[in-house]
Structure 1
Amino acid sequence: MIKKVICIDDDQITLTLCDLVIKKAKFADAVATSKHGKEGLNYFSAFFQKKDKIEISEAPQLIFLDLNMPVMNGWDFLEEYLMKYADRLPDVKVVIISSTVNPEDFSRANRYDIVIDFISKPLTVEGLEDLMQNDHLSHYFTPDPTDTN
């Protein structure tokens, strides 16, 4: 299971649904949320400004990112995240979660190595189960052979 994900979306209902679905699917232990790209960047900024030693393991392993948001959209978030934080958190991946039907958005998402999937809203348990099979994430969901529970 993934330890932590962050969902960045301007719709509170979507954020609530993501939290519920992620927990129901046993996809992640913790879910952080941000209401737009700027707030998402502030989350990572605060993470690196902690006075005590930063534990990379405390960072979210996955970002669920909406594209169309006020203040800062998903594309602008992605560009700034790549410039400021991607090198310090090399294992963090992004899944676009959007209601867009614009083919250019799908094409643009494929240009980013950090973006590993593009999911249409709403997020579902079935969608998360498919995501668990993704080559970039499957190791989080592989049973530990030393676990006797």
Structure 2
Amino acid sequence: MISKVLCIDDDQITLVLCELVIKKAGFASEVVTAKNGKEGLAWFSSYFSKKGGDGDPPQVIFLDLNMPVMNGWDFLEDYLMKYSDRLPGTKVVIISSTVNPEDFNRANRYSDTVIDFINKPLTTEGLYELMANENLSAYFSKQEQQKEEN
């Protein structure tokens, strides 16, 4: 199980649903939320200002693209410049309702960090598939993966 995920989305209902689904699927033990990219970056700034952080950093960031204040692409650019080298194990999963092909193409340009692109809403089935992703499978036991495949 992943110890911590960060969900960044401007919709409060989506954040609540993500937390419920993540816990129901046994994907992560802690869910931290931010309402836009700026709040997400502030979380990392605070984490690193505490001399190495407070607890574990998130291993996964669930990132919405279309948000006010700072959208997902702007967050991703700043995150990559400021924090990704210090957190090489942290991966980003874009979770969006976009149907714009350019968004999918753009996500592929960040293949070292962005490991998946999931359509909203986040579901337990989507999380079970994500558990088998080669970038995350080490966090989940084979027994959990087999259970989810059945």
Q: How far, CA to CA, are the matches of 1:11 and 1:139 in structure 2?
A: 31
- Root-mean-square deviation (CA, aligned residues, Å) is 1.4
Partner residue, 1:79: 77
Q: How far, CA to CA, are the matches of 2:53 and 2:134 in structure 1?
A: 24
CA deviations over 1:25-83 (Å, ceiling 9, x no partner): 00000000000000000000000001xx4259610000000000000000000000000
Partner residue, 2:130: 131
Partner residue, 1:41: 41
CA deviations over 1:105-140 (Å, ceiling 9, x no partner): 000000002000000000000000000010000000
Q: How far, CA to CA, are the matches of 1:9 and 1:80 in structure 2?
A: 16
CA deviations over 1:87-115 (Å, ceiling 9, x no partner): 11111000000000000000000000200
Change (3 A) 1:55 1:34: closer
Change (3 A) 1:86 1:48: same
Structure 2 segments unaligned to the other structure (5+ residues): 144-150
Q: How many residues align?
A: 142
TM-score (norm 2): 0.92
Change (3 A) 1:57 1:90: farther
Structure 1 segments unaligned to the other structure (5+ residues): 145-149
Letter of the aligned partner of 1:35 in structure 2? K
Identity %: 73
Partner residue, 2:148: none
TM-score (norm 1): 0.92
**SS at 1:80's partner residue?**
helix
Question: Conserved in 1, the CA contact under 8 Å of 2:47 and 2:54?
Answer: no
Q: How far, CA to CA, are the matches of 1:87 and 1:95 in structure 2?
A: 17
Letter of the aligned partner of 1:37 in structure 2? G
